[in-house]
Amino acid sequence: MWAYAVRRAAIGVVLLVAVALVTFVLFFATAANPARLACGKNCSQQQIKVTEKALGYDQPLYVQFGTFMKGLVVGREFPADKEVRERNPELVTDCGPPCLGYSVNVGTTVNSLIVQAAPTTISLAVVALVMWLIGGVLFGILAAVYKGSFIDRGVVGLTLIAYAFPTFFIAVFFLKYVVIKWEILPYPGYVTIADGGVFTWFENLLLPSFTLALVFMAGYVRMTRAFVLESLGEDYIRTAKSKGLRTRPVLFKHALRAALTPLVTMAGLDFATLLGGAIITESVFAYPGLGLLTVQSSSSFDLPTIVGVVLVAAFFVIVLNILVDISYAFIDPRVRLG
Amino acid sequence: MTSPANEVDEIATDEATHHSTGPSTAVVSKSPTRIAMERFRKDKLSMTAFSIVVFFFVAAVLAPILVKTGVLDPFGTNQDLLNEFSLPSGKWGGMSSSHPLGLEPGVGRDALSRVWYGITFSLAMSISATIIAIVLGVVLGIVSGASGGWADTIIGRLIDLTLSFPQTLMLLALSSVLVTFISDKLHVPSGNPSQAVYVVAILGLFGWTGIARLVRGQVLSLREAEFVQAANLMGASRARIYFKEILPNLWAPILVSFTLIMPTFVSAEAALGYLGVSIGPPTPTLGTVLNDSLSYADTDPLYFFVPAVTIMVIVVSFNLLGDGLRDALDPKGNR
């Protein structure tokens, strides 16, 4: 299994380099003038030239990419141009590995921006994941047990409707009605566990996470329902029942087992996507996570930050994909990784 | 489409006619398509979803004609019908016989016309994006499944690479550079046309992977079929085998994919409208109309709910239609 993990990790690294390359080309080759974007709207030709040199945008694209990749592995210093660094030592910013770049707009390294934003996004994603997994599995089992009944149709229909409403509509609805009009919950704003304790942290995460959970839940309900229904017809369920096992262990231990592999696959990928930033939810609730960072950096044309966030998001997707594949060996004893 | 089931039916019919004494006892053969159609028609939920989808398509086609002839007016402002807070005067968001869904607060445009005309743009964009995704996915899926070898490996890696990109994030982030690129380098008129081309292209370019995997799986079994071997023996070219022999057998999964991908693109367009990436004002799309309505969520609830519910109904009915088609077209289905 270790050989498999190492091989997958190696492929993952190659994939990440490819993502970096494509992202780099997409953003820096198609941008009409990256230096102009970094310098701002009121820059003179002269200033743009200076910015271009200081940031290394005057170099050919492959050299820029080389420097970027080198920074990712061993770290680098900013401004990119050596001369500029020597002339103005007070301007030099050190960016340790894995250096993702330097945001001229904010005046700090992309790494520090991402490190600032990541805890918010991770909290949001974890709470949402727990919510939709519990909800999805419970409702899925409920729908399967009462197949064809009013409960089944209600559960499947309602989750589909919740999925079909645009996320930002649900988020705004919660804000304007649940928070402001009916005053059921306080206005959510991100509070760290260190600042407000676990309860305040969770209370503030409740609405944004629930919004996300609503979007994702439908898929899990349908998946759980389908697999539980299928396994309920199997011989081993009949055996378990005839042994005298109660309904609950039969459902949760035996029937649900069949749904575990597809559920883990789906949850892993959805969770990975969320870790890259819940763009819509974060911007409606003004949560300072990776999603909001993307929105801000793309409206201010902050290319280094955008590239950094894309890479971090891709990293999560690739790593979780590998973890999901390895987890099959633990979930399903029939799977042998080789 | 010639399928083994067809031949069996024909043989059965032949035997039946040979042995029967009169023409009245002849067995009527049913093609798989007809069986699927019959199954689909029996499913009430799918039929309802199908009618709603047809209704929206007709509405989308009619809207530009109605706007041209002046029946719908999505741009005219009716300031005289707004009160001192710029909200529609009267109950239910200014609902009246000339404005059945009320008025847009602030500007005073007719809400029904905005939403209706928005359906046209939203559906047009999501259908175009779906077509791009389907064409890419089907071509790459067939090539990867039928040829095997290095082409299969490369396409497989390409799918992994595409899936590694965070989609919404890329959609939003790329707009900062690509929209200008499209208008400057590709000579698309700047403004809304470039914006529309961007949204369609990016949705399509990131949306093909699922179909490619699905088609590849189907092709893996199809390429071992006798009719493909026969075509090979007769010296048919690769292109002929791929697109004349294999492709016609894939219409069922393609149709199902179409109905399931399109609603995700309708939602994606709405999200992009919220993020300010989709077509801008005054042209309406469901996303931008909904985005406009957000600031009036509590003061003018009708205007807030109408576009959202429209999107919801479109997404739900397309999903139900897709599910119904899949069940009906599944040869193992026995409903």
- Distance separating alpha carbons of residues B82 and B93, to the nearest angstrom: 10
Q: Which two tokens stand for residue A78?
A: 């900013």
Query: If we measure between CA atoms, which residue out of B136, B116, B140 comes closest to residue B128?
Result: B136
> Is the peptide bond between B282 and the residue preceding it cis, with omega within 30 degrees of 0?
yes
A331, A264 contact by CB (below 8 A): yes
Distance of CA A92 to the CA centre of its chain: 32
Nearest CA in chain B to A309: B169
pLDDT at A149 > cutoff 80: yes
Rounded CA Rg of chain A: 24
pLDDT at B335 > cutoff 60: no
B303, B293 contact by CB (below 8 A): yes
Q: Which of chain B's residues have a Cβ under 8 Å away from the Cβ of A280?
A: 168, 271, 274-275
Encode pLDDT of A214-241 as tens digits: 989 988 998 899 888 888 888 888 888 8
Sign of the alpha-carbon torsion through B205, B207, B210, B211: negative
Question: Coil, helix or strand for A300?
Answer: coil
Q: B168 and A280 in contact by Cβ < 8 A?
A: yes
* CATH numeric code, B41-329: 1.10.3720.10
B284, A159 contact by CB (below 8 A): no
pLDDT at A82 > cutoff 80: no
Mean pLDDT of B251-271: 90
pLDDT at B22 > cutoff 60: no
Distances (CA, A) of A187 to A116, A275, A284: 22, 23, 12
CA distance, residue B174 to nearest chain A CA (Å)? 7
Residue with tokens 């609830």: B301
Encode pLDDT of B126-156 as tens digits: 999 999 999 999 999 999 988 878 989 999 9
A316, A275 contact by CB (below 8 A): yes
Query: If we measure between CA atoms, which residue out of B266, B207, B164, B269 comes closest to residue A273?
Result: B164
Write phi, then psi, for A239 (nearest 5 degrees).
-60, -45
- Distance separating alpha carbons of residues A44 and A263, to the nearest angstrom: 56
pLDDT at A273 > cutoff 90: no
Give the per-residue pLDDT at B333: 55
Q: Which residue has the higher pLDDT, B20 or A145?
A: A145
pLDDT at B86 > cutoff 70: no
Mean pLDDT of B271-299: 83
Mean pLDDT of B269-280: 85
Give the per-residue pLDDT at B10: 44
Question: Coil, helix or strand for A230?
Answer: helix
> Is the peptide bond between B301 and the residue preceding it cis, with omega within 30 degrees of 0?
no
Residue B212 pLDDT level (bands cut at 50, 70, 90): very high
Mean pLDDT of A102-113: 83
Q: Which of chain A's residues have a Cβ under 8 Å away from the Cβ of B168?
A: 279-280
What does DSSP assign to residue A184? -
- Chain A with chain B: Cβ pairs closer than 8 A: 125
Encode pLDDT of A111-141 as tens digits: 889 999 999 999 999 999 999 999 999 999 9
Encode pLDDT of B148-204 as tens digits: 789 899 999 899 899 888 888 888 888 878 887 887 777 777 778 888 898 999 999
Give the per-residue pLDDT at A245: 84
Q: Structural domains in chain A?
A: 2-111 (no CATH), 113-331 (1.10.3720.10)
- Distance separating alpha carbons of residues A83 and A66, to the nearest angstrom: 19
Question: Coil, helix or strand for A194?
Answer: helix
- Distance separating alpha carbons of residues A176 and B294, to the nearest angstrom: 9
ipTM of the complex: 0.84
Give the per-residue pLDDT at A193: 76
Residue B85 pLDDT level (bands cut at 50, 70, 90): low
Q: Round the average pLDDT of chain A to a whole number and report it.
A: 85
Domain boundaries, chain B: 41-329
Say whether residue B53 is in contact with chain A using an 8 A CB cutoff. Answer: no
Give the per-residue pLDDT at B107: 72
Residues forming a β-bridge with B82: B88
pLDDT at B26 > cutoff 80: no
A305, B176 contact by CB (below 8 A): no
Those residues with Cβ within 8 angstroms of residue A34's Cβ, 6 or more apart along the chain or in another chain: A28, A55, A57, A303
pLDDT at B56 > cutoff 60: yes
Q: Is A3 exposed, middle or buried (0-12, 13-18, 19+ CB in 10 A)?
A: exposed
Q: Which two tokens stand for residue A300?
A: 């201010």
- Distance separating alpha carbons of residues A259 and A224, to the nearest angstrom: 6
Residue A299 pLDDT level (bands cut at 50, 70, 90): confident
Supply the pTM of this predicted model: 0.85
Residue B33 pLDDT level (bands cut at 50, 70, 90): confident
Residue B275 pLDDT level (bands cut at 50, 70, 90): confident
Give the per-residue pLDDT at B95: 65
Give the per-residue pLDDT at B181: 81
Q: Is B136 exposed, middle or buried (0-12, 13-18, 19+ CB in 10 A)?
A: middle
Q: Which of chain A's residues have a Cβ under 8 Å away from the Cβ of B178?
A: 26, 30
Q: Round the average pLDDT of chain B to a whole number and report it.
A: 81
Q: Which two tokens stand for residue B103?
A: 């008025």
CA distance, residue A83 to nearest chain B CA (Å)? 29
